[in-house]
Amino acid sequence: MLADGTLFEGEAIGAEVPAGVTEGEAVFNTVLSGYQEVVTDPSYAGQVIVFTATHIGNYGVSSEDDESPRPACRGVVVRDLSEQPSNWRATDALEHFLVVHGVPGITGVDTRRLTRHLRDAGAMPCAFGTAGEQEVTEAARRAVPTDGRDLVSEVTTGAPVTRGTGPWRVVAYDFGIKETMVRRLAAFATVTVVPATTPAEQVLELEPHGVFLSNGPGDPAALPGPTAEVAALLEAGEVPVFGICLGHQLLATALGGTTFKLPFGHHGGNHPVKNLRTGRVEITSQNHNYAVVADSVPAADVTHVNLNDGVVEGLACRDVPAFSVQYHPEAAPGPHDARYLFDEFVRAMERSARGAA
């Protein structure tokens, strides 16, 4: 049941909900594969994921594809859940995976109709479950969107964690960081992943060559604390800063920019983005409900734009070594067109190191 009263029927899958109903903000994702990476992406905290691909679960799941230790989403909605996965890498079936991790779901739903409705009416709160229709309806009316909510505190790490043995030292703020991001950074650096509330002063005490701002869930306007710490890092101007997704939005906000909520967000693996510096078009993986207001960041140049709707997809600061993108260059799932951005981060650290010397 959507908050506007639109009803869909299906069969319960996944974990049982103690109260018989779960709620969250309904959003649709258009990826054709990579459902496990989507479900375990911390950016979906507080949301119910509607998969537009018809068959979900057909190649099972593997622990190698987890983007976090446990899913943060509130539930999944699919058209047809495969009961017999077939893939040499599979170690489990998707439904059992959902049960183990406490994620409820519903199958047999007309996801094409649901997606078209969300596309026209926008992402909105919803509820589903095995309780009576009246109970589910009331739950949908009570459900709240992600607007103004700090969801980062639900998914950030509780203590610093170090990964990798590369020659560069990188401190990564965990606003809901994906495992693939950590792997990409650990390929060239010793990465210290720190909680979202870590003061900028403590970050700089670790003497990093660069600071990474991760992806994460929810409304950037609800995160004044992390925004202030990003602003402090930029004011210090000691090390390069690279932001992705929520990190991009926080960087823009720290520079005085503003953000807004998209009607139904960008959730998929096939968004065309133009690099304004090279003229090349990249096919990108995206997962966000909020975006930076164009021309709201006077201290930075727009480097990338979305060719579907013109949304700002990249920024580069003029006065400090900081840049960011709205999309996911690490992919998982999605194309690898934008992985060069991690190389740009390395080059920025090299320039900074030469300047310090």
**Has 330 been annotated as catalytic?**
yes
DSSP-derived 3-state class of residue 250: helix
Q: Which residues pair with 107 in a beta bridge?
A: 11
Instruction: Tell me the CA end-to-end span of the chain in Å, nearest whole number.
Output: 61
CA angle 83, 84, 88 (to 5 degrees): 140
Parallel, antiparallel, or unpaired: how do β-strands 300-306 and 312-317 relate? antiparallel
Task: From 227, 70, 79, 47, select the one nearest 144 (Cα to Cα).
Answer: 47
Task: From 351, 218, 243, select the one nearest 297 (Cα to Cα).
Answer: 243
Distance of CA 88 to the CA centre of its chain: 28
In the DSSP assignment, the letter for residue 309 is T
**124 — phi, psi (to 5°)?**
-150, 160
DSSP-derived 3-state class of residue 254: helix
Angle of the 224-236 helix axis to the 246-254 helix axis, nearest 10: 70
Burial of residue 143, with CB atoms counted within 10 A of its CB: 0-12 exposed, 13-18 middle, 19 or more buried: buried
Q: Which residues pair with 266 in a beta bridge?
A: 288
Contact residues for 32 (Cβ-Cβ < 8 A; gap 6+): 53, 269
Task: From 69, 253, 283, select the one nearest 177 (Cα to Cα).
Answer: 69
The number of beta carbons lying within 10 Å of the beta carbon of residue 269 is 23
Containing H/E element for 182?
Answer: helix 179-186
Q: Which listed residue (245, 271, 288, 317) is catalytic?
A: 245
Residues designated catalytic: 245, 328, 330
